Amino acid sequence: MEDLLRPLYQERASNENTLGVLLIESNKPFSPLTDNFDSILFIIVTKGEKPWSVKHYEYGDKIAALHIVTEDQLNQWLLLGSNRRVVDWVVNGKVLFNRNEYITELRDRLDKFPVPERSKKITIEFGKLLRRFSDGKELFHSGQYLDSFNHILHALHHLARLAVIERGFHPEITVWNQVKVIEPQIYKLYEELITGNEPIEKRIELLLIASEFSISSKTKLGAGHLLSVFQEQNEWSVAELMEHHEVTDYSIDLTVLLEHLIERGIIHVIRQETKGKHLYHRHYTTKF
């Protein structure tokens, strides 16, 4: 298949905008990693008309997909975990073109997983964990057990991803295989929720208690990136935080993060008067 695809990537490799070209081939009849295509040609560029574009090709009984992605879009996927196949593609794909060792350095960065990137990714996962957990808890108390089950299952998934990141690894598609080795107690919680013999409401109730403990024990770790931003000035409005370039990637979960940290006594509220009587602006600080 590589020979058939050569004209596609050779043309782009000659463009100085192209940083790297990877080939991912499937030897299985059913392969979610490649969307069941026989081959994926993954091309990374410095800039493009679109952050991500895809083309499909067919030759005989074979099908292939061409993905062209900008460096910014790739970095966003790697940070947010919103396209988990990409880690596998970058790490295990066959290198067809490698301008100035770009792919080599990218793989090295993924392998080392620098602490600043890790810290930010942990806070992103922790925000999602809090959101799912609070939604699941509310649904449980209103008797919506199936919807609660779904949210608690997702909360466990974020807890699992957080544990993997904490140990310096990128979460893969098979994250539960990673967690089974890295943090078996979280894997056990997952098993109890999925395969437990108790009624669904009892399983959820037990998981809520266990998850609350896990969340509490991981609060300072989970919020570490946000707390580091707080050190830049004495107090913040929510608007200032949302506009901060380091916070924008998890601004959607910023409010739930702030409320959780206020409950834990880690962040404090400062009230500032407005023109309205008994109406105050709410600012936040870690210095009290």
Check residue 44 and give its pLDDT.
97
The tens digit of pLDDT for each residue in 72-114 reads 999 999 998 888 899 999 999 999 999 999 999 999 999 999 9
Equal CATH topology for 2-112 and 223-288 = no
What residue segments make up the domains of the chain, in order of their start? Answer: 2-112, 127-217, 223-288
Range 223-288 has CATH code 1.10.8.60: no
Range 2-112 has CATH code 3.30.460.10: yes
Q: Assess whether pLDDT exceeds 80 at residue 288.
A: no
Check residue 277 and give its pLDDT.
82
The tens digit of pLDDT for each residue in 228-247 reads 999 999 999 999 999 999 99
Top pLDDT among 32 and 264 is at: 264
Q: Which of 240, 236, 53, 218 is nearest to 127 (CA)?
A: 218
Check residue 171 and give its pLDDT.
86
The tens digit of pLDDT for each residue in 145-163 reads 999 999 999 999 999 999 9
The topology under which CATH files domain 127-217 is Four Helix Bundle (Hemerythrin (Met), subunit A) (1.20.120)
Q: How far is CA 96 from CA 36, 74, 156, 221, 226, in A?
A: 21, 18, 38, 39, 39
Top pLDDT among 84 and 66 is at: 66
- Look at 26-35, 132-141, 208-217, 250-259 and tell me which has the smallest mean pLDDT: 26-35
pTM given for the model:
0.88
Residue 22: which pLDDT band, with cuts at 50, 70 and 90?
very high
- Residue 40: exposure state from Cβ atoms within 10 A (0-12, 13-18, ≥19): buried
